[in-house]
Structure formats: structure tokens, C-alpha cells
Amino acid sequence: MFCIVDLGRTDYRAGLRAQASLVRDVGAGDASETLVLAEYAPVITLGKSADTRHVLWSTESLGARGIDVVETDRGGDVTYHGPGQLVGYPILDLRRRGKDLGDYVRRLEGALIRTVAAFGIDAARCPGRTGVWVGERKIAAIGIHVSRWITSHGFALNVDPDLRHFDAIVPCGIRDAGVTSIAQCASTRPTLGAVRDAFVQAFHDAFSLADVPAVTTR
């Protein structure tokens, strides 16, 4: 059995708490593998290898725009989450899935590539860099954490966020590339719900789930 939980628009710390609880339960065998989806209030997150110099705006400027800053245990550098972005945390037991982190990330990237393709966008992997790209611009970031083969954290797909907020950071520590969104690249502006549904189907295909689980909300 596999579950999908949509937290809706919520605070980033609340999302972390929900994720941490499920990681414990999945690791102990007390819960099914779960995909957690969310849309966050504006927040800058710092991964384990984050360089704080990649946060370009002052604390005062961030506060004036309602942007929080939170340290996390995911891999990677600095990223931004906000309204109009679909964030997903696959909580999977890789002991059942070959214990192959590279394969896991490739499958996640593949699901994101198929998701944006559903809206007419030709995206791809970028050699040497994680995430999903449209030309030289990143449309989806990936930052994961794995403990005892249980995955957490995951991806952030730009559906229609305020891209000006990315000016506050050097996204993922990469200075020579920009960011984009589905709304910016597609001929129409899809809703977050439509993109969520497309991702759920793509995730199902990428990870060979027996069926497409129903999405529950909290």
C-alpha cells in the first residue's frame, strides 16, 4: 500500500513535523510509504552544505517581505519555497527498492520531467547537476535526506511562484543559471491542483506503484 497526503498551503515547520513523524513510522514498519505534498508560505531553506553567503537579502529585507529562513537536514545548498510552488516529500523505504540512491534521484527527476511535459514543456536533466531544467533555467529543485534507507525531503516544482523572490538567494549555490516556472514556459497557466494531479500520475509510473493512490488532505 502507498499513501499520498496533501497538506495544502501550510507553514514550512509544520511540513517538517509531518514529514518527521512519517519517517519514524515508515522506518519502524508502522506506516505505509507516503508521498507528502505541500505549498508553503515564503521561506528560504538551508541544506546541510549551505553557504549563508548565498542568502543575498538582509534579515530586514526578508522580514519585510514575510520570508522566513529555516535550517534543514536535507542535502544541498540554499533554496526558496513559496506560494505557487509544489513541494513533495517521498518517504520511501529503499531497503525494498534496491538501496540505490542514484536510481531514486533519477526516477524522481523522470517523474518531474513527465509532469511538465504534460503542459507542453520540454525539460531535461543537466549533466553534473541535480534537478530538472528548461534550457539553462531550473524548473524543479531536488534535495533529499536518507537515514537508514528511509528517504525524506524531495523536490520543489515551480508552478507559478513569484520568481522575484529567487533574487534573494543564489539558488542551490549555482550562479550561472536562472530559474523558471511552468507558468512562464507553458502556453497556459495551469492550477497547482492540475500540476499536482499530473505529478501523482508521473510518480506512480516512475516508481512502478500497483495503482494510483487517492490523495488525502489535511
Q: What is the pLDDT of residue 214?
A: 72
Answer positive or negative: Cα dihedral of 44, 49, 52, 55. Answer: negative
For 98-114, how does the pLDDT look when each residue is reduced to its tens digit (9 = 90+)?
Answer: 999 999 999 999 999 99
Residue with cell 513523524: 21
Instruction: Report the number of distinct structural domains present in the chain.
Output: 1
Q: What is the pLDDT of residue 193?
A: 96
Global pTM reads: 0.94
Q: What is the pLDDT of residue 175?
A: 79
Distances in Å between the alpha carbon of 36 and those of 90, 157, 193, 196, 205? 6, 14, 14, 11, 17
Determine the 3-state secondary structure of 143 from DSSP: strand
Q: What is the pLDDT of residue 172?
A: 74
Which CATH number belongs to the domain containing residue 113 in this structure?
3.30.930.10
Determine how many CB atoms are found less than 10 A away from the CB of residue 196: 20
What the block records as the C-alpha cell of 217 is: 488532505
- Are the beta carbons of 78 and 47 closer than 8 angstroms? yes
CB within 8 Å of 116: residues ≥ 6 apart? 123, 132, 134, 139, 140, 157, 182, 185
Distances in Å between the alpha carbon of 4 and those of 8, 101, 151, 211? 12, 21, 15, 12
Residue with cell 525524506: 152
The reply to whether 172 belongs to the active site is yes
How high does pLDDT run on average in the chain? Answer: 94
Catalytic residue (one of 3, 126, 172, 185): 172
For 137-160, how does the pLDDT look when each residue is reduced to its tens digit (9 = 90+)?
Answer: 999 999 999 999 999 999 999 999
For every residue of 71-101, DSSP letters joined together read E-SSSSSEEEE-TTEEEEEEE-BTTTTTS-H
Show the low-confidence residues of the chain (pLDDT under 50). none
Q: Can you give the residue range of the structural domain that contains 64?
A: 2-217
Segment (H or E) for 21: helix 12-27
Determine how many CB atoms are found less than 10 A away from the CB of residue 15: 20
Segment (H or E) for 181: none
